[in-house]
Amino acid sequence: MAIAAVVFDLDNVLIDSEELWGEAREGITREHGGRWRDTAQQEMMGMSSPEWSRWLHDELGVQLEPEKISEAVVERLETVYRDHLRLMPGAREAVERLEARWPLAVASSANKPLIELALELSELRPDFRAVVSSEEVPRGKPEPDVYLEAAHRLGVAPGECAAVEDSTNGLLSARAAGMKVIAVPDPRYPPSQESLDAADVRLDSLRDLGVATVEALG
């Protein structure tokens, strides 16, 4: 079955942002009576905004309601993104190569306003026909919901999509959706071996992601 569309994750696939998320969440946690721990950011990777804000409240003891936690983190990140948003190496070129051949979507665990802001600031928004946040679907990654919704909005069967992912939960989510999976792991936040084994292709960088790589998945 030929590939008919490509779906990208956002954080640490297209934009270099996982560290920024960690700093924002840690700051809010410490400022509002919570107990931050070194593994917290890794534990939250892939969670939707309702899930991670509830986790910060329940697990780390942040003394704000989950909705307020999410709002505070988003506000902090919006400021940071406007000051110094960075793309991952090869991201722009990879998007341009693939957009010339297939319709593209973003399927991200980030809050929808942050996704849209990042794509606007990076001038990548016109390249994507659909943008989906896991806050728009019932369950976050590793469940398949956000990838299934992205395929639906593109009008393409999930089995005809290739997904580009970096994290444990993201890789498992794309696989659960029935997509072909391209792993581009960030060595700073290594995914589990189980999730890497679920990928069809593993690349060191988006610089290596070309049309031939995606076509071979079909």
pLDDT at 26: 97
CA 44 to chain centre: 12
Using DSSP's 3-state secondary structure scheme, residue 180 falls into strand
Q: What token pair was written down for 179?
A: 């997509």
Q: Are residues 92 and 38 in the same domain?
A: no
**At 74, which CATH number?**
1.10.150
Strands (E), the chain: 5-8, 104-108, 130-133, 161-165, 180-183, 201-202
Q: Are residues 45 and 115 in the same domain?
A: no
Tens of pLDDT, residues 21-76: 999 999 999 999 999 999 998 888 878 889 999 999 999 999 999 999 999 999 99
DSSP conformational letter for 178: T
Q: Are residues 41 and 148 in the same domain?
A: no
Above 90 in pLDDT, residue 198? yes
Q: Are residues 149 and 50 in the same domain?
A: no
* Residue written as token pair 């939960």: 169
pLDDT at 47: 86
Above 90 in pLDDT, residue 1? no
Q: Are residues 97 and 198 in the same domain?
A: yes
Q: What token pair was written down for 6?
A: 């490509």
* Spatial distance between the Cα atoms of 161 and 147, rounded to a whole number of angstroms: 9
pLDDT at 48: 84
Half-sphere exposure of 129 (CA within 13 A, CB side): 17
Q: Are residues 119 and 206 in the same domain?
A: yes
Q: Are residues 93 and 196 in the same domain?
A: yes
Q: Which domain holds residue 92?
A: 5-16+86-216
Q: Which of 84, 99, 134 is the last residue in one of the domains? A: 84
Q: What token pair was written down for 146?
A: 């956000």
pLDDT at 166: 96
Q: Which of 59, 84, 109 is the last residue in one of the domains? A: 84
Q: Are residues 25 and 111 in the same domain?
A: no
Q: Are residues 187 and 130 in the same domain?
A: yes
Q: Are residues 50 and 123 in the same domain?
A: no
Q: What percent of the chain has pLDDT over 70?
A: 100
**At 144, which CATH number?**
3.40.50.1000
Q: Average pLDDT of 71-99?
A: 96
Q: What is the mean pLDDT of the chain?
A: 96
Q: Are 186 and 12 in contact (CB under 8 A)?
A: yes
- In single-letter form, the type of residue at position 62 comes to V
* Residue written as token pair 């700093």: 23
Tens of pLDDT, residues 110-151: 999 999 999 999 999 999 999 999 999 999 999 999 999 999
Q: Which of 53, 84, 115 is the last residue in one of the domains? A: 84
End-to-end CA distance of the chain: 5
pLDDT at 46: 78
Q: How many domains does the chain have?
A: 2
pLDDT band, residue 87 (cuts 50/70/90): very high
pTM assigned to the model: 0.92
Q: What percent of the chain has pLDDT over 90?
A: 93
Q: Are residues 44 and 113 in the same domain?
A: no
DSSP conformational letter for 12: T
Q: Are residues 12 and 41 in the same domain?
A: no
Q: Are 148 and 161 in contact (CB under 8 A)?
A: no
Number of residues in the chain: 218
* Cβ-proximal residues to 96 (8 Å cutoff; 6+ apart), any chain: 127
DSSP conformational letter for 15: B
Within 10 Å of residue 108's Cβ, how many Cβ atoms? 30
Above 90 in pLDDT, residue 202? yes
Above 90 in pLDDT, residue 9? yes
Q: What token pair was written down for 189?
A: 């936040």
Residue 200: exposed, middle, or buried by beta-carbon count in 10 A (0-12, 13-18, 19+)?
Answer: middle
pLDDT at 23: 94
